[in-house]
Structure 1
């Protein structure tokens, strides 16, 4: 009931904003949403003609269902896995009233800058960012695993950023990742944002995503998909990540080639 009430309040708030813009003579003509279709539903009810839904998260099934009822355009990366989306891609392809657009690049390249990482002093302690999630969300309740049991054995300087903690500049957080030697994350999105900037990420999650497949088996993505226990710091996965972090401090890894996602998206949206 609480979730439904919050959704209803959000719809009402967004619709009120659309009405206000119309009253002052500056009506909203287009809404672009990444994985958040409630704004698109509100836009449809208020007569906004252009409603774009962008996603790179296949298991966000409820959002996809809502988008099918509200979007005029859907943008998905070429890495999208139809076997994880419960028929969303197939449904979009069958609809004559929804235009499907594919990005050959990766979405983080649309809002991040190409990074520059510098060599650290020989005796430096690795600095890592730990992204802690609350869990229990609509699409991650079966994926979430706490990475906290790993912290005591890492021997690293850890900055913890928890999901519900106030952050001065939440939009700036992804761009800060290049300042760290490694990232320990329960969030797929943050791990992906680290990887594209050349920062080794240990993703502690049972998540499966098409955007991760490219990096499986490489030195930037390391995934632990079972709950860690104290003393697990020297398992093969964690050890490989620690080695990548230490190596990167003295010889920073080059970020994967920066692709054309930003230019592609700009060309699509105009």
Structure 2
């Protein structure tokens, strides 16, 4: 695996990814989007964007480099990212601002573009309000054996940023040391798109596409193992979530009732 990575990571692209048009299907109307509503466009301001995928009604999974400023090295501020579920031709099925961002503490946006960076290029975003399940059904994370499983990727990308495009079939070339390498046809355009594996009748998220490479004319994509890092990011969101301020209502002396209307009983029962 190490030799494989040395060979291909030298070709890694530091810019965003997209799946190429070969083998892609554009998901435009409501029938096309059925089952894919949880894939959405992340608008980052300044005209830039990524792809994100709901894993809960208020949690979006994407790449860390989509949520961190290259100029400051810090996470983007709440309100700087908007998630548009099922976005197509100027309209979204649901739209919510991002109010909280979690990225691995060891992720460096301007660090060396290699295996160590790709393994932690994951972000979890909390939305201002949940998106109802009848609008977009979140994807679960994949676990267990994927031998022979069908692999797919859906994303927005350069030149096709007005609708989801789905590449139905990719192959896993290698999976080891926290890295997943696939032969999905990727290039500039969208980052953070989920690599999906079929589990029965349902697709589940296997990885997040972080970087791409070219070797002998073949384009490949790099992702990471997810369950452990996503669990860490969930704990980080919970730890850093704004806490509601406690409200204390004072009782007037001898008032005989609280501000909520609860009465105190006198010793004589009156």
> TM-score, with normalisation over the residues of structure 2?
0.27
* Greater share of residues in strand: 2
Could you say which structure has the larger radius of gyration? Answer: 2
